[in-house]
Amino acid sequence: MNIKIIGVGKLKEKYLKQGIAEYAKRLGTFCKFEIIEVPDEKAPETLSDAQMLMVKQKEGERILSKIKDKEYVYALAIEGKERSSEEFASELDNLGTYGKSDITFVIGGSLGLSKEVMQRADTKISFGRFTLPHQLMRLVLTEQVYRGFMINAGRPYHK
């Protein structure tokens, strides 16, 4: 199985990089795992709706250029479906069983994802109604993917 996370912006925080590196190493047992960073657009605090749309579209084009046709895409979005860790694990397992072994997760920038990226997504996933920094979300998502593989392997990590 191939798992890819596409994130907008460069991860700078050392503690987040270390956490992701640890889970990425652990994931090596189960899958090929990679994180792709696409550049974010500079977005001052006060943007018009048109400017916000433009930022999301530019970031969205960069994201879409990293997605192949055969990939099953999860868009991380507050309006997505919430899942328990066990439900998520089962979903990953089922995707692999039915030939969807290239799975891509997309984390937008500070303004979210473009309409085009949302339309390309096969499903939307939410980690709750909290707003989390998109950099932190990479670590949370990587841990949940690892947790899913551990649940599917029947290993005790997730308790």
Question: Within a domain: residue 101?
Answer: yes
Domain count of the fold of the chain = 1
Question: Within a domain: residue 65?
Answer: yes
pLDDT at 44 over 60: yes
Question: Within a domain: residue 159?
Answer: no
- pLDDT band of residue 145 (cuts 50, 70, 90) is very high
- Residue 94: CATH number of its domain: 3.40.1280.10
* HSE, side-chain direction, 13 A CA sphere, residue 144: 23
Q: Could you tell me the residue range of the domain that residue 110 belongs to?
A: 2-154
Q: Binding site annotation covers 53?
A: no
Look at the pTM and tell me if it is higher than 0.85.
yes
Q: In angstroms, rounded to a whole number, what is the distance separating the alpha carbons of residues 85 and 110?
A: 25
Q: Which residue is it, tokens 């997504």?
A: 121
pLDDT value at position 159? 57
Question: Within a domain: residue 53?
Answer: yes
Question: Within a domain: residue 88?
Answer: yes
Q: Binding site annotation covers 76?
A: yes
